Amino acid sequence: MTRAGADTLLVMTPQAPAYRRLSVEERRSQLLDAALTLFAHRVPEDVSLDDVAEAAGVSRPLVYRYFPGGKQQLYEAALRSAAEELQQCFDEPREGPLLPRLARALDRYLTFVDQHDAGFSALLQGGSVVETSRTTAIVDGVRRAAAEHILRHLEVSEPGPRLRMTVRMWITAVEAASLIWLDEDKQPPADELRDWLVEQFVAVLSVTARRDPQTSTLVEVLAEEV
């Protein structure tokens, strides 16, 4: 406070922060973040546009302005955003032994599953009223990307059908184990589940190696790393 004259007090109040209008991309990202948070822990049919608007602190008409296709368009956009994040889980630098790399990728993957429990279950189990051929294609794209990441880490330029099939089967097993893990109240602990999945990867490769020379060579390399 400062005194002005004999009887007048001037009270200095903090200046309110200036309002800044969000850009189109910033607003869209804000709405997607709000939707992703809701879809992470509730099945899609239990989330309304009013819920998204409230979570984002905006009006329902504003949500429609950015997603004129309504809830379906918003869900697909949120799903694509989540799919991109999920794909990045397997984006590990190709340095050092393979199995520790795979373990780090699984750490990120299981963290994603943990943080998006209900949404992850709805995403993989299907049967949602908002499921379409486009959403199915998005999920399949994640699986293909994960398989390609792993094959690159195996440093196989032209994987044969048996090796490719083995990797894709293992990814399916990881998905199934993750869903069961959620049903079992996230038991065993994530680090134990991670180690078990890495061991499963080695096991399925070892079985395939009995019939496939290409996979047999890979298993020999892995044995040298252990």
* pLDDT tens for each residue of 14-64: 444 444 577 888 888 889 888 888 887 787 888 899 999 999 999 999 999
* The pLDDT value given to residue 200: 97
Fold of domain 22-77: Arc Repressor Mutant, subunit A (1.10.10)
Q: Please state, rounded to an integer, the average pLDDT across all residues of the chain.
A: 85
The CATH 1.10.10.60 domain(s) of the chain lie at 22-77
Cβ neighbours of residue 63 under 8 Å, at least 6 residues apart? 31, 49, 52, 53, 56, 74
Which residue intervals of the chain bear CATH 1.10.357.10? 89-225
Q: What is the mean pLDDT of residues 109-129?
A: 75
Rounded to the nearest 5 degrees, what angle is found at the Cα of 163, between the Cα atoms of 157 and 166?
140
Residue 141 Cα distances to 34, 83, 137, 195, 204, angstroms? 24, 8, 6, 25, 23
3 pLDDT band, cuts 50/70/90, is very low
Of 15-24, 71-80, 89-98, 100-109, the least confident:
15-24
**Alpha-carbon span 179 to 56, nearest angstrom:** 29
Better-scored residue on pLDDT, 183 or 118: 183
Mean pLDDT to the nearest integer, 167-186 = 94
Q: What is the pLDDT of residue 131?
A: 60
In the predicted model, is pLDDT for residue 124 greater than 90?
Answer: no
Top-level class of domain 89-225: mainly alpha
pLDDT bracket for residue 184 (50, 70, 90): very high
